[in-house]
Amino acid sequence: IAKQDRSLALWNIGTAYVAFLIGTLMGLLQVFVRNDKLDLPAWLDYYQVLTAHGVLLALIFTAFFIYGFLITGMSKSLGNYSSKVRKTLWIGFIVTLIGTIMATVMIISGEASVLYTFYAPLKASGWYYVGLALYVVGTWISSFGLIAHYISWRKAHKGQLSPLFAHMTIATLILWIIACLGVVATVLIQYIPWAFGWVDTINIELSRALFWYFGHPLVYFWLLPAYIAWYVVAPKILGTKVFSDSLARLSFVLFILFSIPVGFHHQLNEPAISDFWKYLQVVLTFMVIIPSLMTAFSMFATFEIAGRQKGGKGLFGWFTKLPWHDIRFTSLFVAMAFFIPGGAGGIINASFQMNEMIHNTMWVVGHFHITVGTPVAMTFMGLTFWLVPYLTGRQFTKPLKKLAFIQIITWAVGMLLMSTAQHILGLLGAPRRTAYTGYNNHPSTLEWFDGILSNHVTMAVGGSILFLSALMLIYIVVQLMFFAPKAETEEEFVDFPMAESDMSGTPKWLENWWIWIGIAVLLIIAAYAIPLTHLIQHSIGSIGFRTW
Ligand code: HAS
C-alpha cells in the first residue's frame, strides 16, 4: 500500500500502544490496591486509577488499533486512498486524538474519576464529556473517510461484490455509527449541560439506558475487527481459503441487526424499566449469540480443512498439523480458545435470572477480561507482529519471534489466573467497582479469599505477569517500528496475509446495506421506543433515583 497510507496507519497504531502502556500500568496498580498491598499517594485515588485503566484500554487502545488495522486493510483490498480520503482520515485521527488527550488530562488531574461507564450521579468536569464527544466525532470522521473510499470502489466496480475485508469493515463501521448515537445523545443533551451547571438535574435512568444502547454494541465494535482477522487472516496463514464467503458476510450482517437493541441486558437489575422490555431484549441478546456460534463453526471447519490438506489423518490428526510454530497463528488460536469460556460467561450474564447472581460482582470483571482483554486484545497483539513490520518495511526477526511467543504465553497464563480468581470471587459475592472489596475486613467477607484460586495473591500474581507481558509487547512494537533491520529480500519482507474468498455462490443482497440498516432501525424502534418514552415521561418533575 502507498507510503502515505502506511504512515497514517502507523500513527494510529503507535497512539494505541502509548495508551496500552499507561493503561496496563494502571491495571497493575489496581490489583495491588485491591490486595491492600499498596497505598496510593493522596493525589491519586483508586477510582482515578480504575477510570484511567478502563478508558485507556477499552476505549482508546482499541479504537486507535482498530482504525490502524482497518485503514491498512481497506487500502490493501480496495486500492490506495485518494488525497481527499487521506485528508479525511488524518482529520479523523487528529480529532480523536484531541478528544483522547482532553479526557486523559481530566482523569489524571482527578477531575473525572467516573469510570469508563461514567454513570450519573457521578459527575466529571464538563471538559471530560467534551473530550468524549470529540473522540466519537473523530472516529466518525475516520469512518466516513473509509466509507467514502468504499463507495468510490463500488461505483468503479458496478454489480460486483466487494472483497470480504471491505464488506466486514463497512459492517463494523455501520454498527459503530448507529451505536454512537446513544452516547452522543446522552453526552450532548444530558451530561454537558449538567456538568457545566446549565441545568440542575439529570435523568439518571435515561442516561444509563442511552449509555447501554451504545455500550453493548461497543463490545462488538471491539470484537468484529478480531473476527475480520479470524475469517480473513487466519486461513491465509493456514494456507487455505475462507471456509464460506456467504457465511462470513451473513454473520457480520447479523451483528448489525442484533448487537444494538440489547443494551437492557446490562440493566436487568434496574427498577425503572419494566420486565417486558427487559425480557424482549434478553431474547434479542440470544439472537446476537448466533453469529458468534457461526464464527466458531467456521473456524473449526477452517482448521480441520487446513490440517487435512496438510496430511492430518483420523478424527483429530489434522489438529497436530496446524502451524503451531507460527506465532501469527498461535496467537489467534489462543485468543479464540479464550472466547469459548468468555462467550459462555456472556450467555450466563444474559440469562435474566442468573444475572441476579453475577451483576455488579467481580464475575463481570472476569468476563470482560476473557472477552475484550484476551480474545480481542490478543488478536490485536497477533496482528501487530506482522502489521507493524508490513507497514515499516522492517523484519520480524527470529529473536523477536521468540519473544512474541513468550509474550503470548505469559499473557494467557496471567489472564487465566487473574480472570479465574475474578470469576470465583464474583460467585462468592465480591463486589466490583469498589475499593472496599472486603467490606472493611468483615470476617465473613474475608472467607471469600481463602480459596487457592479465589485468592488475592493469585490475582496479584496474574496481574503482575500480565504487566510483564505488556512490557514485552511494547518492546516488540518499538523494535518493529524503529530498530529492527529493514527487509531487503522478498523472504525478509513481511506481507499482509489476506485469504482468498470464493464469492461465486454469495448472494448479492448480502451487500445491500439499506436492507440491513432498515431492519436494524425497526428492531431498535421495537426494543427502545416505548421504554425510552417511559423514562423520559417519568423524569418530568420527579425526584429520587431518576433525577439528581
Ligand atoms: Fe459481555 C458485560 C453478555 C460478549 C464485554 N461484557 C460485559 C462487560 C464488558 C463485556 C466489557 O447479558 C462489562 C460492562 C460493564 O462495565 O458493566 N457478552 C454477553 C453476551 C456475549 C458477550 C451474551 N462481552 C462480549 C464480548 C465482549 C464483552 C465479545 C468484548 C469484546 N456481557 C453480557 C452481559 C453483561 C456483559 C449480560 C452484563 C453483566 C452485568 O450484569 O453487568 C456474547 O456475544 C457471547 C457470544 C460468544 C460465544 C463464543 C463463540 C466462540 C468462538 C471461539 C471459537 C474457538 C475456536 C478455537 C474455533 C457464544 C467464536 C478452538 C479452540 C479449542 C481450545 C478447541
ipTM rounded to 2 decimals: 0.96
Distance of CA 323 to the CA centre of its chain: 27
pLDDT at 448: 73
Q: pLDDT band at residue 547, thresholds of 50, 70 and 90?
A: very low
Among protein residues, the one with the nearest Cα to ligand 1's atom 40 is 359
User: Would you call 129 a catalytic residue per the annotation?
Assistant: no
Q: Which residues contact 461 (CB under 8 A, 6 or more apart)?
A: 417
Rounded to an integer, the average pLDDT of 373-396 is 97
Query: For ligand 1, is residue 355 a contact (CB within 6 Å)?
Result: yes
Rounded to an integer, the average pLDDT of 316-339 is 97
pLDDT at 437: 59
Helices (H), 272-326: 275-288, 290-309, 317-320
Among protein residues, the one with the nearest Cα to ligand 1's atom 65 is 337
Distance 171 CA to ligand 1 centre (A): 19
User: Would you call 433 a catalytic residue per the annotation?
Assistant: yes
**What phi, psi does 262 have (nearest 5°)?**
-135, 5
Q: pLDDT band at residue 279, thresholds of 50, 70 and 90?
A: very high
pLDDT at 449: 74
For residue range 14-54, what is the model confidence (pLDDT) as tens digits? 999 999 999 999 999 888 887 777 788 878 888 999 999 99
Query: For ligand 1, is residue 370 a contact (CB within 6 Å)?
Result: no
pLDDT at 543: 43
Distance of CA 462 to the CA centre of its chain: 21
Among protein residues, the one with the nearest Cα to ligand 1's atom 6 is 368
| Exposure string over 352-384, b if 16+ CB within 10 A, otherwise e | eeebeebbebbbbbbbbbbbbbbbbbbbbbbbb
- The model's pTM is 0.95
Distance of CA 458 to the CA centre of its chain: 26
pLDDT at 33: 80
pLDDT at 440: 67
Using the structure block, give the residue that is written with the C-alpha cell 458496478: 158
Q: pLDDT higher for 39 or 211?
A: 211
Cβ contact 393:75 at 8 Å:
no
For residue range 427-463, what is the model confidence (pLDDT) as tens digits? 988 888 876 656 666 777 677 777 777 777 788 888 8
CATH node for 3-539: 1.20.210.10
**Residue 37: Cβ-neighbour burial (10 angstroms; 0-12, 13-18, 19+):** exposed
pLDDT at 252: 98
pLDDT at 544: 42
Q: Would you say residue 539 has pLDDT above 70?
A: no
pLDDT at 42: 78
Rounded to an integer, the average pLDDT of 169-181 is 98
Q: Would you say residue 542 has pLDDT above 90?
A: no
Average pLDDT score over the chain: 93
Instruction: Tell me the C-alpha to C-alpha distance, in Å, between residue 109 and each of 56, 117, 265.
Output: 15, 19, 33
